[in-house]
Structure 1
Amino acid sequence: MDIFFNFAFLSSRLLRPEHFIMKKSTKPPVDRFTLQTRYNLAMIIVTAVILLGLFLYTYDVAQTGINRAVEGRAKSELRAQCIDLESRLNMIEALVSNHARVVSDDLDDPDELFNHNRRFVEENPDIEGCFMAFIPNYFPKQGRWFECYAVRRDSGRIETRQMGSAQHDYTKSEFYTTPMSTGKPVWCEPYHDKDGAHMMLTTYSIPIKNDDDRIVAVLAVDISLDWLSNYLNSDLRYKSSYLMMLSRQGRLLAYPDTNLLADKTVHELNNKKRDPKVNEMNRRMMAGESGMVKVKAENGDNTLVIFKPVSNDTGWSMAIVCREKEVFGNLYRTGNILMGLMLVALLALALMLWYATRSVNKLQAANDEKRRIDGELAIAANIQKGMLPSKLNRHHDNIQVHASLIPAKEVGGDLFDYYIRNEKLFFCVGDVSGKGVPASLLMAVTRSLFRSLSMHESNPTRIITTMNQTMVETSDSNMFVTLFAGVIDLPTGEMRFCNAGHTPPVFIHDGKTSFLELNANLPLGVFADFTYKGQQLTLTGNDAIVIYTDGVTEAFNAQHEQFGEQRILDALQPIEAHDPLPTPEQQIEHLILEVKQFSGDSIQSDDISILALRYVRPLDDVILQDKIVLPADIQHVGRLNDWIDSVTSRLGAGDETAMNLRLAVEEAVVNVMNYAYKNEKNPDGTPVQG
């Protein structure tokens, strides 16, 4: 028996007028003067009517414009005041947070806590007082209640004292109970501090934790409502206008009459007048709404109230109150000026021409706007297209990839991505809920998230999980994304993948098409804590994967039938019998052609995206090939070594390489001789080749 040895050294290749016609009278002009007078009078009346109509129209337009301008200015001023107040409140919150870090280091030293609070009040003149209220019996020597308080007196002196007692049980106060129960900061409802600052206040407090992460106290600062009211009403456009601010329970935080601050709710104050408009305004303000209302002031003057919420967690709402006499005082003078101008400058024909011109301008403006929008959408479509890859970033013999996207509108919400990193192919196909610009924006975010995360992570399940958490935490659009993501180890063909509610891909193996069985995972952006389950598949030579979006399966024809999943398999199966096998680009072109032929003249209703890949095992380049035939007898091993020396010499291999190769091959051959053929008999000497 003989053994055939075929030794080869291989290398692999790692990408749309009316005319008034006056006829001459055939009667003698007996009463011509009277006729002319009547004619002139008629013309005057007609012209006067036209001018009056023009004036009334222009006056109405002017009044509307002034109303809008006043409303706009008031809203702008209110917005600026809100921003300024929010900035000041945010600064106070930041100061308190920084102070919390300071006092946290001395939670066991009551005296040092007093010093910290005193210095904090001294350094922040807008703050009336600062205190820490501890849980009962935190400092046994100080008694059950301990509240280290620092307050600024009228003289400017900072006074410190221990406020906690049975008469001043702070554990029942909002500034203490809310942070202790929720673990979150709170801006309290306004109140009159009879024991400490002796004024109307609002308090901001935060919980303080010890080293064991247990809440042991609250750190709080007091803000004077007098200071807040004076601050907000310090610089307003109209002299008689003023700003008012309500807490979330409807108590006055800022108002010109400081005696009313925090004393009663706005509903209680309005009970005497019983003005339904005021009650409605108060209700909307407390509900955090924005708007404008006209109400009667106490002196009977009409006032304009514009309100909006303060955009933070305080729950407060701010309003600017303006008197109509002051705001619209110039309106009548403006009307008289307009009347004079119209009587002198305008005629009926001028009005018609002006109206016609304005209509033409509007039409032109509308056309220009449409062209601008179309142009911007075209640019957006090009930008979106540019975000998607057109080919692999590097060539690799073991993989062929191609993808195509056909948006239903100028821009769409489908996405795909693929690239090679570290001998691994990373790829994904996704579909954003909705269509048009909103979907395209979320599509860009999703694709960017996948690319950035996959640059540092090779597990598709972890990539999907992180993308989902990020999208839930950063998006309030109530949109979601279905996504199929996978990673293929190109040398081995091992494919790990994770599906987030996407349509099942087509798997082609040995020329047969089928759908991959997928785990039931939710789409991205639904629940942050959802646990995604990944899957694994080993690809062999010429296996192919075709991933598509529901624009393929939900394509309609004239009979309102859907293309469906089975037609996908039926479209891909025949071309797999071709020799050579179709490339991914050919697969996609064939599938898109089938969809278009099925849909006919029906309008495409959804984006269509397809990504196809084929895993191949290329024939390697042969540098040298030789063979030797030996009997299955270890006595002929010497001939094997001579043959190996000859091959390594022709290849120019070094001595060490030749020796290592000789040892490895000799051991393999001897094992084959001893065990693979030991029971075979071949008396005729016919070689047994392998």
Structure 2
Amino acid sequence: MKGRLRTVGVKTVVRLMLWAVGIAVVVGFINYHYTLSGIKQQYAENFHLRMLINYEYTRRVLSDVYVQVTNNVYYIESTLDKPEGHMAAMERIVRNGNRVHSCGMNFVRNYYPQKGERYCPFAWRNPENREEILTEEKGNQDFNYLNSLWFRSVVEGDTCLWSDPFYDGYDNTTALAAYMVPIHDAQGTPVAVLGADVSLDWLTSKLAETDSAYNVQSPRAVQLMGLKSQSYIINYDGKFITHPEAEKRLEGMFFNHVLGDRMGVKTQLERRIKAGLQSSNETEESYKFNGERCYFFYTPLKYTGWIMVTVVPCQTIDMLAVMYVLKQTAFMLLGMLLLVAVVFIYLKYRFRF
């Protein structure tokens, strides 16, 4: 009798194990097939949020520059009759603005005859000692700005704007962008352009820091396959405003690195970016970026004419999603095996086989 019970118990356990394995395989396949795309979408939303965090950080940096400039407009306009105080105002803007690289004020032709045809008080941080603020009167000697497009746009348009990126006139290597506002006389006529510069090299390094922090969160993709997400700021035409490779900054074109899988896909991407639109449902369309299949996450930076783009290799999101689904399936299989073990122990002690 005991032998028969032992045989029945063993057969029962074997059947339970086979059923458990079969159910685990079927459920695992269904779970993998039907939930993988949803999990990928969740990870894509996570990268979208990371892109927006980068956006908010960059916006705050640009906002700091904006605040430093606008907070000094009233004082400067009320003291236009005292040009000897302008240099101190430029120095104050640079000193108080942690993100301000340099600051200058460019006056219209012969506004101060005693200063010459062109007059521009200018202050900048000493690159070797950021606590030291250097000053200089620029204009007549080496800085003919009167016919420059940026100067005429602000004065003639009586408007505030961000400049196109340019290189620092002192070292010709530091990439800068300036926020510019018109300065008005007592009659409300624009008579000068006040501009504060932010370093795009510094902004590039900060984006690289946040990218590194995010890439650490997907170490398998980075270590095993060398897959890394990368954030850029480009203008609406696709020119790189920031890039980890200095030679591509202000020179390289983002769209030159992009290939679409279907006819017209790249053109549609260019149109969306030039229209200043934000990306959505990013995993529905992939592109080849430098030969690597990637998803693009992008959003416009308000008031700048720039776009922030985060490029994420498709395999990074695929790997994260697959690992998540496999982990869930493994937990389910483990649960099945534990159930079989419990039943086996119960039968063993119940029937003493």
TM-score band by shorter chain is 0.7 to 0.9
Q: Give yes or no for contact 1:107–1:210 (8 Å, CA) kept in 2.
A: yes
Q: CA deviation at 1:215?
A: 0.8
Q: Give yes or no for contact 1:245–1:317 (8 Å, CA) kept in 2.
A: yes
Q: Give yes or no for contact 2:260–2:286 (8 Å, CA) kept in 1.
A: no
Tell me which of 281, 286, 293 is aligned to 1:294. Answer: 286
Alignment partner, residue 248 of structure 1: 236
Residue 146 (str. 1) matches residue 125 (str. 2): no
- SS in structure 1 opposite 2:319? coil
- SS in structure 1 opposite 2:139? coil
Q: CA deviation at 1:258?
A: 3.0
Alignment partner, residue 270 of structure 1: 257
Tell me which of 314, 319, 333 is aligned to 2:304. Answer: 314
Q: Give yes or no for contact 2:87–2:121 (8 Å, CA) kept in 1.
A: yes
Task: Report Cα offsets for 1:121-150 as digits up to 9, x if no partner.
Answer: 122231111000000111112221111111
Task: Report Cα offsets for 1:153-177 as digits up to 9, x if no partner.
Answer: 2112322222224753212334312
- SS in structure 2 opposite 1:74? helix
Runs (5+) with no aligned partner, structure 2: 1-17, 217-227, 337-353
Alignment partner, residue 207 of structure 2: 232
Q: Give yes or no for contact 1:110–1:148 (8 Å, CA) kept in 2.
A: no
Task: Report Cα offsets for 1:70-104 as digits up to 9, x if no partner.
Answer: 11111112222222322332232122111112222
Residue 328 (str. 1) matches residue 318 (str. 2): yes
Task: Report Cα offsets for 1:475-507 as digits up to 9, x if no partner.
Answer: xxxxxxxxxxxxxxxxxxxxxxxxxxxxxxxxx
Tell me which of 83, 86, 108 is aligned to 1:113. Answer: 86
Q: Aligned ranges for residues 160-559 of structure 1 at < 5 Å?
A: 160-165=135-140, 168-195=143-170, 199-236=174-211, 237-239=214-216, 240-267=228-255, 269-270=256-257, 280-291=268-279, 292=282, 293-298=285-290, 300-310=291-301, 312-337=302-327
1: distance between equivalents of 2:53 and 2:322? 29
Which residue identity lines up with residue 312 of structure 2 in the other structure? Answer: C
Q: CA deviation at 1:226?
A: 0.6
Q: Give yes or no for contact 2:121–2:138 (8 Å, CA) kept in 1.
A: yes
Q: CA deviation at 1:197?
A: 7.1
Q: Give yes or no for contact 1:286–1:316 (8 Å, CA) kept in 2.
A: no
Change (3 A) 1:53 1:282: farther
Q: Give yes or no for contact 1:238–1:326 (8 Å, CA) kept in 2.
A: no
Change (3 A) 1:265 1:181: farther
Q: CA deviation at 1:187?
A: 0.6
Change (3 A) 1:211 1:338: closer
2: distance between equivalents of 1:261 and 1:173? 22
Q: TM-score, normalised by structure 1?
A: 0.39
Question: Which structure features the higher share of helix residues?
Answer: 2
Structure 1 or 2, whichever has the larger Rg, is 1
Alignment partner, residue 6 of structure 2: none
Q: TM-score, normalised by structure 2?
A: 0.73
Q: Give yes or no for contact 2:68–2:96 (8 Å, CA) kept in 1.
A: no
1: distance between equivalents of 2:71 and 2:329? 63
Q: CA deviation at 1:263?
A: 1.8
Change (3 A) 1:203 1:294: same
2: distance between equivalents of 1:146 and 1:101? 20
Which residue identity lines up with residue 286 of structure 2 in the other structure? Answer: K
**Percent identity over the alignment?**
21
Q: Give yes or no for contact 1:153–1:197 (8 Å, CA) kept in 2.
A: no
- SS in structure 1 opposite 2:124? strand
Change (3 A) 1:335 1:149: same
Q: Give yes or no for contact 2:64–2:99 (8 Å, CA) kept in 1.
A: no
2: distance between equivalents of 1:98 and 1:339? 58
Q: CA deviation at 1:52?
A: 6.2
- SS in structure 2 opposite 1:170? coil
- SS in structure 2 opposite 1:189? coil
Task: Report Cα offsets for 1:437-490 as digits up to 9, x if no partner.
Answer: xxxxxxxxxxxxxxxxxxxxxxxxxxxxxxxxxxxxxxxxxxxxxxxxxxxxxx
Runs (5+) with no aligned partner, structure 1: 1-43, 347-690
Higher relative contact order (CA 8 A, sep 6+): 2
Alignment partner, residue 685 of structure 1: none
Q: CA deviation at 1:316?
A: 1.7
Q: CA deviation at 1:51?
A: 7.3
Which residue identity lines up with residue 192 of structure 2 in the other structure? Answer: A
